[in-house]
């Protein structure tokens, strides 16, 4: 079974530029999560989708971050315009309610550096 | 208030010895789940073990076990027979309602 796929793995941009990250969850997983992990900290949930609907986006800085999961499968997270403090690893995870535990399985992450 | 607290920023353990990584949590929800993840230097989060709030027995997965003390609201991870490959960051996480909260992590270093 293929795991969670993310691209790109690394991205370097200058502040005020825009950037987009892509995530493809494990096949059949209805729930998809985007996390931001700043160096030295634990992951912070940005947004959670159930199929193509948003369950929780309370910690998403909506003035500059947006995310979509139009067909209930893959998802895109966008930052526009980027700030220096957005430098972090962006992790995508997915889970299946049928597992009974909602265990999240993570992708390799995208390391973003904003100069 | 912190929902998930990991009080050990760093730990050292000798190869082949057991080590306990601490995690305390705070919730008023009777139904919740507790998870431990390993994050090696490569960056990927690897699921290790899960404990549900209604589970009567402590979870075990190979060399990993979760010491679940519900009254104390603690969910410590025990790694038996440490290996060099266990050197990594370890995160405790809680599912409360539909959302997940992670602790700040503990960096484990295994010495040969």
- Mean pLDDT score of chain A: 93
Rounded distance between C-alpha atoms, residue A107 and residue A45, angstroms: 14
Q: Which of A33, A55, A89 sits opposite B43 (nearest CB)?
A: A89
The answer to whether residue A59 scores a pLDDT higher than 60 is: yes
Give me the pLDDT at residue A103, please.
Answer: 87
Give me the pLDDT at residue A65, please.
Answer: 97
Preceding omega of A81 cis (within 30 degrees of 0) = yes
Rounded distance between C-alpha atoms, residue B56 and residue B76, angstroms: 16
B chain contacts of residue A1, beta-carbon cutoff 8 Å: none
CA torsion angle A36 B37 B56 B6 (round to 10): -70
- What are the phi and psi torsion angles at B109 (to 5°)? -120, 125
CB contact under 8 A, B47 and A104: yes
Give me the pLDDT at residue B99, please.
Answer: 83
Give me the pLDDT at residue A72, please.
Answer: 83
* Mean pLDDT of the A47-75 span: 92
Distance from CA of B99 to the nearest CA of A (A): 8
Give me the pLDDT at residue A2, please.
Answer: 82
A chain contacts of residue B91, beta-carbon cutoff 8 Å: 42-43
Q: Could you report the per-residue pLDDT of B9-54, keeping only the tens digit for each? A: 999 999 999 999 999 999 999 999 999 999 999 888 999 999 999 9
Rounded distance between C-alpha atoms, residue A102 and residue A115, angstroms: 37
Rounded distance between C-alpha atoms, residue B32 and residue B54, angstroms: 8
The answer to whether residue B68 scores a pLDDT higher than 60 is: yes
* Helix (H/G/I), strand (E/B), else coil: A3: coil
Give me the pLDDT at residue B108, please.
Answer: 98
Give me the pLDDT at residue B91, please.
Answer: 97
Give me the pLDDT at residue B56, please.
Answer: 86
Does any CB of chain A come closer than 8 Å to the CB of residue B64? no
Give the residue from B36, B10, B15, B34 showing the smallest Cα distance to B82.
B15
* Mean pLDDT of the A10-23 span: 97
Q: Measuring CA to CA, how many Å separate B74 from each of B10, B36, B61, B90?
A: 18, 12, 18, 15
Q: Could you report the per-residue pLDDT of A73-110, keeping only the tens digit for each? A: 999 999 999 999 999 999 999 998 765 677 899 999 99
Of all residues in chain B, what percent carry a pLDDT higher than 90?
Answer: 88
What DSSP designation does A98 have? G
- Lowest average pLDDT, out of A37-41, B73-77, B94-98, goes to B94-98
Sequence-separated (6 or more) residues with CB below 8 Å from residue A108: A6, A9, B42, B43, B44
CB contact under 8 A, B47 and A111: no
Of all residues in chain B, what percent carry a pLDDT higher than 70?
Answer: 99
Rounded distance between C-alpha atoms, residue B35 and residue B6, angstroms: 13
Nearest CA in chain B to A38: B104
DSSP letters for B39-105: E-TT---EEEEEEETT-SS--EETTEEEEEETTTTEEEEEE-S--GGG-EEEEEEEEETTEEEE---
The answer to whether residue B101 scores a pLDDT higher than 70 is: yes
Q: What are the counts of helices (DSSP H) followed by strands (DSSP E) for chain A?
A: 0, 11
Distance from CA of B91 to the nearest CA of A (A): 7
The answer to whether residue B83 scores a pLDDT higher than 60 is: yes
- Lowest average pLDDT, out of A8-12, A87-91, B40-44, B95-99, goes to B95-99
């Amino acid at each position: 079974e293929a795991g969670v796929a993310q691209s790109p793995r690394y991205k370097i941009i200058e502040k005020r530029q825009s950037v987009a990250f892509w995530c493809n969850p494990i096949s059949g997983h209805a729930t998809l999560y985007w996390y931001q992990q700043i160096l030295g900290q634990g992951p912070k949930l940005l947004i959670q989708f159930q199929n193509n609907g948003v369950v929780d986006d309370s910690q998403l800085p909506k003035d500059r971050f947006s995310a979509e999961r139009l067909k209930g499968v893959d998802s895109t997270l966008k930052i526009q315009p980027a700030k220096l403090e957005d430098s972090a690893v962006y992790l995508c995870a997915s889970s299946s309610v049928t597992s009974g535990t909602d265990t999240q399985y993570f992708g390799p992450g995208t390391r973003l550096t904003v100069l | 208030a912190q929902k998930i607290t990991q009080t050990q920023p760093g730990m050292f353990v000798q190869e082949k010895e057991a080590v306990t990584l601490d995690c305390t949590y705070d919730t008023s929800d009777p139904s919740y789940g507790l998870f431990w993840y390993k994050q090696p230097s490569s960056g990927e989060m690897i699921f290790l073990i899960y404990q549900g709030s209604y589970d009567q027995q402590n979870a075990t997965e190979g060399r990993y076990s979760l010491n679940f003390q519900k009254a104390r609201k603690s969910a410590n991870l025990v790694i038996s027979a440490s290996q060099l490959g266990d050197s990594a960051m370890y995160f405790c996480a809680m599912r409360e309602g539909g959302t997940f909260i992670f602790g700040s992590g503990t960096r484990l270093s295994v010495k040969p």
